[in-house]
Structure 1
Amino acid sequence: MSRDFAVEIHRATEGLDESDKHDLLRDIRRDCINTMSQIALGTIHKNPEFIDYLSKATS
Protein backbone atom coordinates (compact mmCIF):
# COMPACT_ATOMS: atom_id res chain seq x y z
CA MET A 1 0.00 0.00 0.00
CA SER A 2 2.78 2.47 0.76
CA ARG A 3 4.10 2.26 -2.81
CA ASP A 4 0.62 2.99 -4.19
CA PHE A 5 0.33 5.91 -1.80
CA ALA A 6 3.70 7.26 -2.91
CA VAL A 7 2.65 7.00 -6.57
CA GLU A 8 -0.56 8.90 -5.84
CA ILE A 9 1.36 11.61 -3.98
CA HIS A 10 3.75 11.93 -6.92
CA ARG A 11 0.81 12.27 -9.34
CA ALA A 12 -0.89 14.81 -7.12
CA THR A 13 2.22 16.99 -6.96
CA GLU A 14 3.18 16.89 -10.64
CA GLY A 15 3.27 20.36 -12.08
CA LEU A 16 3.12 22.12 -8.73
CA ASP A 17 5.75 24.63 -7.76
CA GLU A 18 7.83 23.89 -4.67
CA SER A 19 5.74 26.11 -2.40
CA ASP A 20 2.49 24.40 -3.41
CA LYS A 21 4.12 20.97 -3.07
CA HIS A 22 5.29 21.86 0.42
CA ASP A 23 1.79 23.04 1.38
CA LEU A 24 0.13 19.91 -0.01
CA LEU A 25 2.56 17.56 1.73
CA ARG A 26 2.12 19.48 4.99
CA ASP A 27 -1.66 19.04 4.70
CA ILE A 28 -1.29 15.33 3.99
CA ARG A 29 0.99 14.88 7.01
CA ARG A 30 -1.48 16.78 9.19
CA ASP A 31 -4.39 14.67 7.95
CA CYS A 32 -2.45 11.45 8.57
CA ILE A 33 -1.57 12.54 12.10
CA ASN A 34 -5.19 13.50 12.79
CA THR A 35 -6.40 10.15 11.47
CA MET A 36 -3.92 8.20 13.55
CA SER A 37 -4.93 10.23 16.60
CA GLN A 38 -8.59 9.38 16.02
CA ILE A 39 -7.76 5.71 15.75
CA ALA A 40 -5.60 5.80 18.87
CA LEU A 41 -8.30 7.55 20.85
CA GLY A 42 -10.90 4.98 19.86
CA THR A 43 -13.28 7.56 18.42
CA ILE A 44 -13.22 6.07 14.95
CA HIS A 45 -16.09 3.69 15.75
CA LYS A 46 -18.42 6.70 15.69
CA ASN A 47 -17.87 7.09 11.94
CA PRO A 48 -18.77 3.89 10.04
CA GLU A 49 -18.06 5.55 6.68
CA PHE A 50 -14.46 6.09 7.72
CA ILE A 51 -14.12 2.48 8.84
CA ASP A 52 -15.34 1.44 5.38
CA TYR A 53 -12.80 3.78 3.79
CA LEU A 54 -9.99 2.30 5.89
CA SER A 55 -10.95 -1.26 5.06
CA LYS A 56 -10.93 -0.46 1.33
CA ALA A 57 -7.67 1.47 1.57
CA THR A 58 -5.88 -1.38 3.33
CA SER A 59 -7.16 -4.23 1.16
Structure 2
Amino acid sequence: MSIEDRAKATAKDVEGKVQEAGGKLTGDREAQLKGKAKQAEADVRHSVEDVKGQAKRAID
Protein backbone atom coordinates (compact mmCIF):
# COMPACT_ATOMS: atom_id res chain seq x y z
CA MET A 1 0.00 0.00 0.00
CA SER A 2 1.43 3.26 -1.04
CA ILE A 3 0.74 6.04 1.40
CA GLU A 4 1.36 8.49 -1.41
CA ASP A 5 -1.30 6.87 -3.61
CA ARG A 6 -3.79 6.82 -0.74
CA ALA A 7 -3.10 10.50 -0.05
CA LYS A 8 -3.71 11.34 -3.71
CA ALA A 9 -6.98 9.42 -3.66
CA THR A 10 -8.07 11.22 -0.50
CA ALA A 11 -7.18 14.57 -2.05
CA LYS A 12 -9.20 13.68 -5.14
CA ASP A 13 -12.16 12.76 -2.92
CA VAL A 14 -11.99 16.07 -1.05
CA GLU A 15 -11.63 17.96 -4.33
CA GLY A 16 -14.73 16.21 -5.63
CA LYS A 17 -16.74 16.98 -2.49
CA VAL A 18 -15.79 20.65 -2.68
CA GLN A 19 -16.66 20.82 -6.38
CA GLU A 20 -19.99 19.09 -5.79
CA ALA A 21 -20.85 21.43 -2.92
CA GLY A 22 -19.90 24.45 -5.00
CA GLY A 23 -22.12 23.20 -7.78
CA LYS A 24 -25.02 22.81 -5.38
CA LEU A 25 -24.54 26.35 -4.05
CA THR A 26 -24.45 27.87 -7.51
CA GLY A 27 -26.97 25.53 -9.10
CA ASP A 28 -24.33 24.28 -11.55
CA ARG A 29 -25.41 20.71 -12.31
CA GLU A 30 -22.29 20.03 -14.39
CA ALA A 31 -19.99 20.94 -11.48
CA GLN A 32 -22.01 18.66 -9.22
CA LEU A 33 -21.62 15.76 -11.63
CA LYS A 34 -17.90 16.38 -12.09
CA GLY A 35 -17.51 16.44 -8.32
CA LYS A 36 -19.32 13.13 -7.98
CA ALA A 37 -17.14 11.66 -10.74
CA LYS A 38 -13.99 12.70 -8.87
CA GLN A 39 -15.33 11.07 -5.71
CA ALA A 40 -16.04 7.86 -7.63
CA GLU A 41 -12.52 7.94 -9.06
CA ALA A 42 -11.15 8.29 -5.53
CA ASP A 43 -13.21 5.30 -4.39
CA VAL A 44 -11.74 3.22 -7.22
CA ARG A 45 -8.22 4.33 -6.32
CA HIS A 46 -8.80 3.35 -2.68
CA SER A 47 -10.13 -0.04 -3.80
CA VAL A 48 -7.05 -0.61 -5.94
CA GLU A 49 -4.83 0.19 -2.99
CA ASP A 50 -6.84 -2.22 -0.81
CA VAL A 51 -6.36 -5.02 -3.35
CA LYS A 52 -2.65 -4.26 -3.63
CA GLY A 53 -2.36 -4.41 0.15
CA GLN A 54 -4.22 -7.72 0.34
CA ALA A 55 -2.02 -9.20 -2.37
CA LYS A 56 1.11 -8.07 -0.59
CA ARG A 57 -0.07 -9.58 2.70
CA ALA A 58 -0.95 -12.86 0.95
CA ILE A 59 2.52 -13.06 -0.56
CA ASP A 60 4.27 -12.23 2.71
Structure with the largest fraction of helix? 2
Q: TM-score, normalised by structure 2?
A: 0.46
The structure having more radius of gyration, on CA atoms, is 2
Instruction: Return the structure number with greater relative CO, CA threshold 8 A, min gap 6.
Output: 2
